Chain A
Amino acid sequence: MASQIDDLMARAMSKRFSRRSLVKGSAAVGAGALALGAFGGFTSFGIMPMQRAAASPLSSDLQILNYALTLEYLEAAAYKAISNAGLLTGRAKTYFDAFGQQEQTHVDALVATIKKLGGTPVAPAKAYNFSTVPVNTPEAVLAFFKAVEDVGASAYLGAATSIKDAGILEAALSIHAVEAEHAAALADIVSPNAPDATPGSFTPDGAFAKFRTPDQVFQIVAPFFVPMTSPFPDVNANTAHATAILYLAGLGIARGDQDGFYRPANPLLRAQMAGLVARAFLWADEMYGNRFGDQQVVDNDLWNSVGVLSYYDVARGYTPTEFDPLTSVLNAQVISFVTRAMVTKGFWEQELNSDMAQYPNVPWESGHRLDIATYVKYAGTIPDTSSTTAAWSNYAAPATRAFSAEVIYQALMTINTNAQAIV
């Protein structure tokens, strides 16, 4: 069943869905102020650093609550869609109707809690993409929802240890138990005889439940956020670029220009690259300041992303004090940004050697060969190159928005979504 979910990851909206506002909860600072797109200009939008700092003690619980809310919206919508389809009868229908209502109760409670804490609840997607949900038989539906509930339970478990407030922890654990109960109950209908500690079992992890991190959970649910039709008039849904761009757009990572176009062939600036990577890896709302002195006209939001990536040594400047944010990012630099992010997050291990037959024209002095070797090892051939043994003629050319999206997408698709053991 886990692989069934994994299979769903291959596809793609809600423009309002913002991964960063979900997970990293810009709630406390007002999501509206963050409307600036990945490519949107560089004007300041007037959020003072002090406001963000003052909000930070609560904001991380708010982020978790908005993360939970995002998942509950999705679950409630999925139950509703299936109930409306009229596929289920009898016992299965009894369960579905009740569970769907309970998910909606979770949504309402989370919204109320977030508001009570002074936060802004993330908005639901305008439409979810349920095209990958199996609806051919009741059994397939039940097995699918059983797996979804297992993911939900693992998500709450993964978030629980980050919760600071005792009351919120208690509420989250209370919901966590209910998600698990849903899964166990559905298993009793669809796979009642599955052996313990197998995917269909009411206890798929055996005696100790495993958890998932937000990165893993988003990777699993991403297909439900992929827009059914492209929101960008200039992104054609039949190209490799489009798959990547729509995927990232669904998660709020890629946003396009403010006029609604994506301009995939345009070059990407280094500050914009930092913004994309920060959002893709759920770092956008962390704050560590910024050691570079050349912010210039870069807005504070993107500049903060530069600071975060610098903190993690994902972004490195041209000099200790200059990031050069308004210069186009180069193709090989895109590989390095993304590779370092994957390594920092622990998804990949940095390669320590580089086979000179791989992209043989890229010189050692470029400083990118080990990152390229790492990227290729885990994510395969670099986008827009025909083979890892051929020359990468434009490695030092400015990267396009499309190329950058593909590089990120290809990397995210390698994230192992298997639940992780606590014990």
Chain B
Amino acid sequence: MADRFFKNDVEILNYALTLEHLEADFYVKVINGGKLMGKELADFTAIRDHEVAHVNYLIAGITAAGGTPVKPRASYDFSPLGDINTREGILQIANVLEPTGVGAYDGVAFEIQNKAYLAVAGSIVQIEARHAARIKAIIDPNANPVPNAFEQTLRPADVIAAITPLLGSEQQ
């Protein structure tokens, strides 16, 4: 097992919040952009609502724990992953963000000390996994949308390196 990356649970919750801010911003932009229709719009709207709920819940939890919730960035840049102004680009970006979220939660869970936070992380990661499969099913309905018997787990250093190009300008 890898060494611990974070000093305490609040740091881990803020790490999760950083990812959720990123996801929430993406899906809000997608829905506002009006490029999706029908079932895809409905799916992405549900996903947006979930990510926003995750953000709000984590902010409340961090605050209740006496921590300071990390703020969203002033802007995010999804262009390294795809073009957010096209349906294909949107699916491409989502198809990176969701598996990254799954791997990030699964890869940090063992560091969480408080069982209640672990339960929340498990509850959230399951939703991210469901998003991931749904998006793959949209991208290619006839391919197996669950490519691996075991989801990858990602260590924080790798996740942070991967998302840093997307974080745009400094925090608000």
Contact = CB atoms under 8 A, between A and B. Distances in A.
A177 B46 CA distance: 19
Interface stretch (A166-174, A257-265, A381-389): A166-174
B57 A208 contact: yes
B146 A98 contact: yes
Interface stretch (B25-33, B70-78, B130-138): B130-138
Nearest to B43: A202
B122 A202 contact: no
B106 A173 contact: yes
| Interface bin, chain A | 35 or more
Contacts of B125: 173, 176-177
B106 A170 contact: yes
A209 B123 contact: yes
A251 B50 CA distance: 38
B143 interface: yes
A106 B148 CA distance: 11
B134 A202 contact: yes
Nearest to B132: A181
B144 A94 contact: yes
B129 interface: yes
A88 to B, nearest CB: 14
Interface in A146-188: 153, 157, 160-161, 166-167, 169-171, 173-178, 180-185, 187-188
Nearest to A197: B46
A207 to B, nearest CB: 4
Given A184-B134, A196-B46, A203-B127, A170 B153 contact: yes
A173 B122 contact: yes
B127 A185 contact: no
Chain A contact residues: helix, strand, loop or mixed: helix
B44 to A, nearest CB: 11
A181 B123 contact: no
Nearest to B138: A188
Given A203-B130, A423-B120, A181 B145 contact: yes
A185 B123 contact: no
A209 B127 contact: yes
Interface in A97-156: 98-99, 101-102, 105-106, 109, 153
A72 to B, nearest CB: 11
Interface stretch (B11-19, B85-93, B107-115, B159-167): B107-115
Given A181-B129, A184-B129, A174 B151 contact: yes
A174 B153 contact: yes
A422 B119 contact: yes
Nearest to B141: A91
Interface in B24-70: 39, 42-43, 46, 49-51, 53-54, 57
A173 B118 CA distance: 11
Interface string A182-213: 11110110001100100001110111111100
Contacts of B107: 170
Contacts of A201: 46
Contact of B134 (A170, A173, A176, A188): A188
A161 B115 CA distance: 6
A178 B109 contact: no
B6 to A, nearest CB: 14
B163 to A, nearest CB: 19
A174 B106 contact: yes
Contact of A423 (B57, B109, B146): B57
Nearest to B150: A174
Contacts of A177: 102, 106, 125-126, 128-129, 132, 151
Interface in A6-65: none
A160 B119 contact: yes
B33 to A, nearest CB: 20
Given A180-B133, A184-B134, A208 B123 contact: yes
A209 B146 contact: no
B157 interface: no
Given A94-B142, A209-B122, A170 B129 contact: no
A228 B110 CA distance: 42
Contact of B137 (A167, A170, A188, A211): A188
A180 B49 contact: no
A109 B137 CA distance: 26
Contact of B122 (A95, A105, A161, A178): A161
B3 to A, nearest CB: 11
Contact of B130 (A95, A99, A173, A184): A184
B1 A185 contact: no
Contacts of B54: 207
Given A174-B152, A203-B46, A203-B131, 6 more contacts: A174-B150, A174-B153, A177-B151, A185-B134, A193-B42, A207-B127
5 contacts: A157-B119, A161-B118, A174-B151, A184-B131, A193-B42
Interface of A: 90-91, 94-95, 98-99, 101-102, 105-106, 109, 153, 157, 160-161, 166-167, 169-171, 173-178, 180-185, 187-188, 192-193, 196, 201-203, 205-211, 422-423
Interface of B: 1, 39, 42-43, 46, 49-51, 53-54, 57, 102, 105-107, 109-110, 115, 118-120, 122-134, 136-138, 141-146, 148-153
Q: Which 9 pairs of residues, A with B, have the shortest CB-CB distance?
A: A166-B110, A209-B126, A181-B133, A207-B53, A177-B129, A184-B130, A105-B149, A207-B50, A102-B149
